[in-house]
Chains A and B, each alone.
Chain A
Amino acid sequence: MIQALADGILTGAIIALGAIGVTFTLEIMRFANFAHSELLTWGAYIALVIVTFAGPGTPTGPLSFGWQLLAAALIAAVLTGLAAWAVDTLVFRRLRRRGALPLTMVFAAFGAALVMRHLIVLVFGHESRYYTRELQIAVELLPGVRVLPDQIFILGLALAAMIALHAFLAWSRTGIAMRAMAESPALAQVCGIEVDAVVRLTWIISGALAAFAGVFTGLTPQLHPEIGFNLLLSLFAAAILGGTGSLAGAVTGGFLVGLAENLSLLVISPGYKGAMPFLLLLAILILRPQGLFGARS
């Protein structure tokens, strides 16, 4: 029970990082980006390439990796952010300029997701990969609750990223511009906000956070081309549960979805774990479609 809670918080942190990007595209770009989960995969594999060349570093303290992996994650975050922006330039921006319906964007996102995911398969194949082969000993946090030191580190890092993003959105001029865009693109434009710059920044931040989520998923414990895709429903469940457009909502949603998925394993067989985020999503859409923090429109 408590073990499931601990696992849930750890998965929740990863889902929350991914859900922030989903909620941004839903609110600022105004479409459901089904390709977002592939950004997680891309981030994870970009970091893998860097680690393969540079090595994961000597384990620091109780962790299974050194600073090199963290550096790789940072570089991967930047590159994935740029990749997200590139996909927007190649596909979504052209559709937006043409005044395409939001649902057309969703189709394009499905298509882009297929291409992105299978490019990874093309290069890396289906087999599982690891950042590091170091073995780690779980520490007993509470009686009966075992956690890997890597996981605690990841949780801390994820929380730090969320707090930094919150500060950015709350106090920086660019952050305020992003929130204004989410409220009303037309009004934002009238106020002299450069829409293209905000859109670019939104993709870069979404992609960077997705890359972190991807690297963290790959660390616990392995990478495969479906790591992002398998989280797709969880990401959307979290974003919608939180009420789209709010950072706090996406984060809370992420933790709740992570907890619900892990707690449900106490009652259902693991074979059906993949259906849990869907059932949650359905319950949210029926009971509270505006999300926990959303206002009823």
Chain B
Amino acid sequence: MLAYLVFFACVVLILGVLALGLNLQWGFTGLFNAGVVGFYAIGAYTHAILTAAPQPQYVGNFGLPWLVGVLAAMAATALASWLIGLVTIRLRGDYLAIATFGVAVSIQLVALNWEPLTGGAQGLTRIGKPLAPLFETPFAFNLWFLGLMIALMATIYWALDRVLLSPWGRVLKAIREDETAAVALGKSARRFRLEAFVLGSTLMGLAGALYVSFIGFVSPFDFLPIVTFQVWAMLIVGGSGNNRGALLGALVVWAIWAGSGVAVSKLVPPSHAAQGAAIQVILIGLLLVLVLLFRPRGLIGEAAVVSRHVND
């Protein structure tokens, strides 16, 4: 049980990084990224290709150190999202959603089809884990990874807090609330949007690298569109525009997902595994719709910001 809790906490924290990345894009900037899983996949595959143990049939698998993989994953996702953002960021909201959704579909196709690099449907195994040789049992490694994740999450949370309170962060909100006013004040809406898009996607890429270095293998079937909707559900349930909300949402939604998975595996015979999995997805969809209908702010919505001069 404890072993499972540690595992569960690690996954929630990794998904929390994804949700924070999305919150920066949607919650604070109003960018509708419907391709979260695409950026997650770029990070995951970059890390896997660079750090996996060498194998003759693959062109990648360089066996590089863990940290190199993580940093490269962030750099690769930043570069990719910058290129994608250059083309798509000026699209109006719903078109941006369609375009980013298409980006994620295409990235998954590349992962599935470019076998010499990505291992195709087989995926890649023996991916670099942080300081793995020091730990004898998987439980000891998971415990260490949890500590690492807590430290990382604290750093990211603190850094985002600083960034959002800075003038840069305030411009993001200004653009989201009233683009014309922000532009009239001489802020380039397009530039700030692109920066927020890249920064948010970089966090998603980091989450991808962390995920595969925790699990130890990568497969294109871990990057189906459902992941995007799960992360969206986390943000909407927790409350977009609030980083604590995003993290709480990650916990709640993943608890529902994992809990319903356990319940389904106990109650549904293995011959109907597809139906069981469908129930899980239906729950996520219902959750998303019901929260939008009955509690649009989420569990903890964005805190109201009132000027300190309001009573002057």
Contact = CB atoms under 8 A, between A and B. Distances in A.
A, B bound: yes
B285 A112 contact: yes
Query: Which applies to chain A's interface (DSSP): helix, strand, loop or mixed?
Result: helix
A185 interface: no
Contacts of B278: 118-119, 121-122
A275 B91 contact: no
B288 A274 contact: no
Nearest to A101: B93
Contacts of A32: 94-95, 97-98
B292 A104 contact: yes
Contacts, number: 129
A282 B99 contact: yes
A103 B286 contact: no
Contacts of B32: 103, 106
Contacts of A178: none
- Report the contact-size class of chain A (Cβ under 8 Å from the partner): 35 or more
Interface string A17-34: 000000000100001101
B101 interface: yes
By CB atoms of chain B within 10 A, which of A103, A118, A121, A289 has the most? A118
Given A104-B292, A110-B34, A114-B284, A271 B113 contact: yes
Contact of B282 (A102, A115, A289): A115
A110 B88 contact: no
A122 B279 contact: yes
A117 B99 CA distance: 21
Contacts of A203: none
Contact of A118 (B93, B113, B281): B281
B273 to A, nearest CB: 10
Interface in B223-245: 226, 229, 232-233, 236
A84 to B, nearest CB: 15
A277 interface: yes
A227 interface: no
Contacts of B103: 278
A122 B283 CA distance: 12
Contact of A269 (B95, B113, B233, B288): B113
B282 A122 contact: yes
B296 interface: yes
A148 B258 CA distance: 47
A110 B232 CA distance: 10
Nearest to B272: A125
Given A106-B32, A110-B232, A100 B296 contact: yes
Interface centre among A117, A122, A286, A289 (most CB of B within 10 A): A122
A236 B232 CA distance: 21
Nearest to A271: B113
Nearest to A276: B106
A108 B281 CA distance: 15
22 contacts: A34-B101, A102-B93, A103-B93, A106-B94, A107-B236, A110-B229, A110-B232, A110-B285, A111-B287, A118-B278, A119-B278, A121-B281, A122-B275, A122-B282, A125-B274, A233-B105, A271-B109, A271-B112, A271-B113, A278-B105, A279-B106, A282-B88
Interface of B: 30, 32, 34, 87-88, 91, 93-95, 97-99, 101-103, 105-106, 109-110, 112-113, 226, 229, 232-233, 236, 272, 274-275, 277-279, 281-282, 284-289, 292-293, 296
3 nearest A-B residue pairs (beta carbon): A278-B102, A114-B285, A111-B288
Interface of A: 26, 31-32, 34, 91, 94-95, 98, 100, 102-104, 106-108, 110-115, 117-119, 121-122, 125-126, 232-233, 236, 240, 269, 271-272, 274-275, 277-279, 281-282, 285-286, 289
Given A121-B281, A274-B109, 12 more contacts: A32-B94, A111-B229, A114-B284, A115-B282, A118-B281, A121-B277, A271-B113, A275-B102, A277-B102, A278-B105, A281-B102, A285-B91
